[in-house]
């Protein structure tokens, strides 16, 4: 197998790795994926905003459209409802394979292969790739780590990974009847101390029910399904047909370019701190990453040029992530009683209409900031 002539090797064949490869138009690209199929295992709720769908390039796989949310605290509930579609629910296996098909026009794939970063030689990293029992040494001009929250590529390069890593678990269940126009979010410390639980409708009779927390997430999810006063009734009689787990990074790494190595997506922490969504930010940053690599390889630049990627993606979404981290810190300090009062405040102050009118799934800091200012000032 001839693996010596690739200009760029991307470790990770998920949506972000594929969009990075698709965005490198004029050079030879190899995408190395550790799993035997694109799109598995599922590690995401599959809920994507309208703008996120556009950023992803309108991939196939939509199974439902939602126009609002029910937000539950321990003792209260508010309903956020729009007349228009606000987000789409995807069958990730279909979506991911469609993105891989697009990327295949520019890139080759190596499945069930394991890429490990080799120590730098003359300031440039290389890769050791294990495939079908054989080991290959690759010396591309650029390496991209798109290998998820725990990024073995980033760690091998000594990139500081001082981030909060949450554990996510999710069940797909059938024979469940819910209002398919709405997602259901549960901010209840009895079930998730540090994040929240969700029920996402996937169309008729099918939902994804999941939970993220800092520890013991599977036990907490089962407790939520069996004992939450609202969710247990919604899910009564539901039959699990798929189980998935994943890691959620909260907080980006400070160094996403090191020599000829670039980190993107969950590996870089390009994730919304309040919702955990990574597809929109990841797709946006993947395009920036691919464009900078293309320019670097096409021009007469030294390796310092690659640092433009870090500068550009920080300019694009860095402020929103920073504000999201600040607001997440406030939410983490709020107990169930205070979250109850927050939802009551939103409802009684008529802020639901404000959320519908001004709310943005991808840039929530303005609305969240305004509500927090009013709430804490009022109290």
- Note the pLDDT tens digit of each residue in 262-273: 999 999 999 999
pLDDT of 44 reads 78
Residues 348-376 have pLDDT tens digits of 999 999 999 999 899 999 999 999 999 98
pLDDT band at 1 (very low <50, low <70, confident <90, very high): low
Torsion angles phi and psi, residue 39, rounded to 5 = 95, -5
On whether the CB atoms of residues 131 and 275 are closer than 8 A, the answer is no
Residue 192 pLDDT exceeds 90: yes
Residue 65 pLDDT exceeds 50: yes
3-state SS of 48-64?
EEHHHHHHHCCCCCEEE
Both 132 and 276 in a single domain? yes
Encoded tokens for 198: 């969700």
Q: Report the percent of the chain where pLDDT is more than 90.
A: 87
- Residue entry with tokens 């008729």: 204
Residue where one domain finishes, among candidates 192, 217, 248: 248
307 by DSSP, 3-state: which?
helix
- Residue entry with tokens 């920073």: 322
Both 152 and 243 in a single domain? no
More confident: 246 or 378: 246
Both 176 and 308 in a single domain? no
On whether the CB atoms of residues 30 and 4 are closer than 8 A, the answer is no
Q: Would 49 be classed as within a structural domain? A: no
Q: How does the average pLDDT of the chain come out, rounded?
A: 94
Rounded to an integer, the average pLDDT of 162-188 is 94
On whether the CB atoms of residues 141 and 297 are closer than 8 A, the answer is yes
Note the pTM of the prediction, 2 decimals.
0.94
pLDDT band at 45 (very low <50, low <70, confident <90, very high): confident
Q: Would 313 be classed as within a structural domain? A: yes
Residue 316 pLDDT exceeds 70: yes
Q: Would 37 be classed as within a structural domain? A: yes
Q: Would 52 be classed as within a structural domain? A: no
The CATH number given to whatever domain includes residue 202 is 3.30.9.10
The residue segments making up the domain with residue 372 are 333-378
Both 318 and 201 in a single domain? no
pLDDT of 379 reads 47
Residue 118 to residue 123: CA distance in whole angstroms: 12
The tally of domains found in the chain comes to: 3
The neighbouring-strand residues paired with 88 are 48, 65
Torsion angles phi and psi, residue 262, rounded to 5 = -125, 140
Both 191 and 147 in a single domain? no
Torsion angles phi and psi, residue 259, rounded to 5 = 55, -120
pLDDT band at 98 (very low <50, low <70, confident <90, very high): very high
Residue 40 pLDDT exceeds 80: no
Both 293 and 271 in a single domain? yes
pLDDT of 207 reads 96
Both 157 and 144 in a single domain? yes
The CATH number given to whatever domain includes residue 15 is 3.50.50.60
Residue where one domain finishes, among candidates 189, 217, 248: 248
pLDDT band at 248 (very low <50, low <70, confident <90, very high): very high
Both 200 and 266 in a single domain? no
């Amino acid at each position: 197998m001839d693996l010596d002539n690739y200009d760029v090797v991307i470790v990770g064949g998920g949506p972000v790795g594929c969009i990075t490869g698709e965005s490198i138009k004029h050079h030879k690209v190899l995408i190395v994926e550790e799993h035997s199929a694109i799109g598995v295992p599922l590690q995401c709720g599959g809920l994507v905003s309208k703008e996120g769908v556009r950023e992803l390039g309108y991939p196939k796989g939509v199974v439902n459209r939602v126009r609002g949310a029910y937000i539950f605290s321990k003792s209260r509930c508010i309903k956020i409802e729009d007349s228009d579609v606000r987000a789409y629910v995807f069958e990730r296996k279909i979506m991911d394979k469609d993105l891989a098909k697009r990327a295949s026009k520019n890139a080759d794939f190596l499945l069930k292969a394991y890429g490990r970063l080799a120590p730098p030689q003359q300031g440039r990293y290389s890769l050791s790739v294990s495939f079908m029992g054989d080991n290959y040494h690759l010396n591309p001009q650029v390496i991209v780590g798109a290998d998820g929250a725990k990024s073995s590529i980033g760690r091998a390069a000594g990139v500081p990974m001082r981030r909060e890593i949450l554990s996510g678990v999710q069940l797909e269940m059938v024979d469940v009847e819910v209002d398919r126009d709405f997602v259901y979010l549960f901010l209840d410390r009895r079930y998730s101390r540090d994040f929240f639980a969700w029920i996402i409708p996937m169309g008729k009779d099918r939902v994804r029910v999941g939970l993220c927390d800092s520890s013991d997430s599977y036990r907490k999810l089962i407790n939520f399904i069996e004992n939450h006063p609202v969710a247990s009734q919604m899910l009564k009689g539901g039959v699990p047909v798929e189980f998935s787990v994943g890691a959620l990074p909260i907080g980006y790494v400070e160094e996403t370019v090191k020599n000829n190595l670039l980190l993107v997506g969950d590996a870089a922490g390009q994730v919304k701190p309040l919702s955990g969504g990574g597809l929109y930010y990841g797709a946006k940053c993947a395009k920036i990453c691919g464009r900078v690599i293309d320019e670097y390889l096409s021009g007469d630049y030294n390796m310092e040029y690659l640092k433009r990627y870090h500068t550009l993606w920080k300019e694009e979404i860095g402020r929103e992530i920073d504000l999201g981290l600040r607001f997440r810190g406030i939410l983490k300090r709020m107990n169930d009683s205070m979250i109850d009062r927050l939802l009551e405040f939103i409802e009684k102050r008529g802020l639901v209409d404000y959320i519908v009118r001004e709310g943005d799934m991808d840039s929530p800091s303005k609305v969240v900031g305004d509500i927090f200012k009013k709430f804490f000032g009022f109290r």
